[in-house]
Structure 1
Amino acid sequence: MRLAFMGSPDFAVPALRALHEAGHEIAAVYCQPPRPAGRGQRETPCPVHRAALELGLPVRTPARLKRDAAEHESFAALNLDAAVVAAYGLILPRAMLDAPRRGCLNIHASLLPRWRGAAPIHAAILAGDAQTGITIMRMEEGLDTGPMLLEQAIPIGPDATVQALHDALAAMGARLILRALEEDPPAIPQPEDGATYAPKLTKQDGRLDWAQAAAALERRVRALNPWPGTFFEHGGEQVRVLAARVEAGTGAPGTLLDDAALVACGAGALRLLRLQRPGRAALDATEFLRGFALPRGAVLG
């Protein structure tokens, strides 16, 4: 089948590789343009860009699509059977959605209509959902509102991290898109009720609000690391929290209840297990506390 692949981050790479290995003709790979990264701020291609070059596939990196008639014509000229989209990062205009014969098929990391939007994996952990999954949908102009072709669920365990769930869903998405292309299942409209939205995350989403319940904060730690990262402020520094555990404890929210990093929350307490200062290595709490005091009674920001 003649395809275009449209994706940018690590999540999309397994699907690109699976399509290539299955023998599909990938006429073009679309991804975000290279951007400055690292200490030297060197122009760096995204993960899909790097994978496409490794596979010898042609890459296109338009900065915008919405009102670019030349891009629309170039896309239509590819004469595609379908386009596969996975976390691309740009909105596809109607002219591009309608160009492939079987439309544009999206690999979405949730059980639609729950968690439409930019950060569905994070949102599922934050909400304490028991499961999430992959939906293959045919795209339309609405935000993740198109009809569904295939869906598969995966449980979210009590210790699930966003990275582990991300990797499992990326592999699942690669398997399901191959099935969708081979089987061409009937499209089923999404239910009208039950839609929820997962907006794009910002750095401030990682600030730990100690007035929240400890269970909610522990989920936030698992959901938002490595990015945007969860943190508190103390002693003029922003300290990242990389792992934590819910424990019993009461006190004014943000107050340290012992000398081993147990913090009172709105309900229960949170034991900080792994921490990191700016520019330093991540350390287990016992080692971290040898060089950064978090004494009983202090209040964290």
Structure 2
Amino acid sequence: MGSPAFSVPALRALHAAGHEIAAVYAQPPRPAGRGQRETPCPVHQAALELGLPVRTPAGLRKDAAEHAAFAALGLDAAVVVAYGLILPAPMLDAPRRGCLNIHASLLPRHRGAAPIQAAILAGDSETGITIMRMDEGLDTGPMLLKSATPIGPADTAADLHDRLSAIGAELILRALDEDPPAAPQPEVGATYAPKLAKEDGRLDWSEPAAALDRRVRAMHPWPGAFTALEGAPLRILAAEPLPGTAGAEPGTVLDGSLRVACGDGNALRLTRVQKAGRAAMEAETFLRGHAIPAGTRLG
């Protein structure tokens, strides 16, 4: 049970390992692209390539017929990774070994919809994958296995997405093969990572440079970090924190290299940017066609 690209390696790993996959559940096809054609999600597409049956219910909570169809599959386990629909109790209880979730954090830290981005924003030194037996709470079920990976100073959400997706595929195979005992999650240290909105990408120049650098990396590729330049949005695709200029107002461009004053007296140098409707460019290339003199205010 999964939908986005993050879920595909687990599906392929289960299939390659010889597990009998009774069905693949994915979110329904949705309009996409310029023509807004109905397009299957990545898991749906992968399942079709593998010749697996696909079910795409629009909802599950009150659909008794769907609950019965799920139970009739006679599952040993259901593997759930970024599915996007809440499983009601009749479905959680149907598989013999339960519904096993591949969650992209070291639970109980960063429960919720955006754990990868939350780990970068918080300045965590590591993150990882937890295999959890699902209950009716939000990522509160007992844990079976964990695997950690460091968060490097230049890691973006896209970097961690790919790394954690691969780790999750490996770890779910171990969980199914080893059937490890489940341990309850401690409540100490539990945090919640809500679903991201586009506004989460806005840079607040009153924040410290290190925090803004983390936001740029956490919001890549979606929703993307941005600021305002002359009343229009400017996307920030990459940046680096640097020493600033004492007394400079936050959001002020300090020099010709797009070094911008931040709230802690340090600066964030914008290294890759994009104007609306234009191609992404390295800062040096961008500045050759779009002069931004020192003293310009961003925000």
TM-score normalised by structure 2 residue count: 0.98
Q: Match for 2:127 among 122, 132, 140?
A: 132
Separation in structure 2 between the aligned mates of residue 192 and residue 259 of structure 1, nearest angstrom: 49
Aligned residue runs from structure 1 range 286-297, under 5 A: 286-297=284-295
1:121 lines up with 2:116 in the alignment: yes
Equivalent residue, structure 2, for 1:257: 254
Equivalent residue, structure 2, for 1:229: 224
Separation in structure 1 between the aligned mates of residue 188 and residue 62 of structure 2, nearest angstrom: 32
What is the CA-CA distance between 1:236 and the residue it aligns to? Answer: 2.9
Separation in structure 1 between the aligned mates of residue 32 and residue 9 of structure 2, nearest angstrom: 23
Equivalent residue, structure 1, for 2:167: 172
SS in 2 for 1:14: helix
Structure 1, gaps ≥5 residues long:
1-5
Separation in structure 1 between the aligned mates of residue 103 and residue 53 of structure 2, nearest angstrom: 24
What is the CA-CA distance between 1:259 and the residue it aligns to? Answer: 2.1
Equivalent residue, structure 2, for 1:284: 282
Q: Match for 1:56 among 51, 55, 76?
A: 51
Separation in structure 2 between the aligned mates of residue 292 and residue 231 of structure 1, nearest angstrom: 17
Equivalent residue, structure 2, for 1:298: 296
SS in 2 for 1:57: coil
Structure 2, gaps ≥5 residues long:
none
Equivalent residue, structure 2, for 1:270: 268
What is the CA-CA distance between 1:192 and the residue it aligns to? Answer: 2.0
SS in 2 for 1:25: coil
Separation in structure 2 between the aligned mates of residue 214 and residue 31 of structure 1, nearest angstrom: 40
Q: Match for 1:15 among 10, 26, 31?
A: 10
Aligned residue runs from structure 1 range 134-149, under 5 A: 134-149=129-144
What is the CA-CA distance between 1:45 and the residue it aligns to? Answer: 1.0
SS in 1 for 2:139: coil
- Matched to 1:200, the amino acid is K
Separation in structure 2 between the aligned mates of residue 203 and residue 164 of structure 1, nearest angstrom: 20
Separation in structure 2 between the aligned mates of residue 41 and residue 64 of structure 1, nearest angstrom: 22
TM-score normalised by structure 1 residue count: 0.97
SS in 1 for 2:15: helix
Aligned residue runs from structure 1 range 86-97, under 5 A: 86-97=81-92
Separation in structure 2 between the aligned mates of residue 16 and residue 181 of structure 1, nearest angstrom: 13
What is the CA-CA distance between 1:204 and the residue it aligns to? Answer: 0.1
Task: Figure out how many residues of one structure are paired with residues of the other and give that number.
Answer: 296
What is the CA-CA distance between 1:161 and the residue it aligns to? Answer: 1.3
What is the CA-CA distance between 1:116 and the residue it aligns to? Answer: 0.3
- Matched to 1:287, the amino acid is T
- Matched to 1:16, the amino acid is L
What is the CA-CA distance between 1:293 and the residue it aligns to? Answer: 2.5
Higher deviation after alignment, 203-212 or 228-237: 228-237
Separation in structure 1 between the aligned mates of residue 49 and residue 277 of structure 2, nearest angstrom: 33
Equivalent residue, structure 2, for 1:3: none
What is the CA-CA distance between 1:235 and the residue it aligns to? Answer: 2.0
SS in 2 for 1:26: coil
Question: Matched residues, percent identical?
Answer: 74
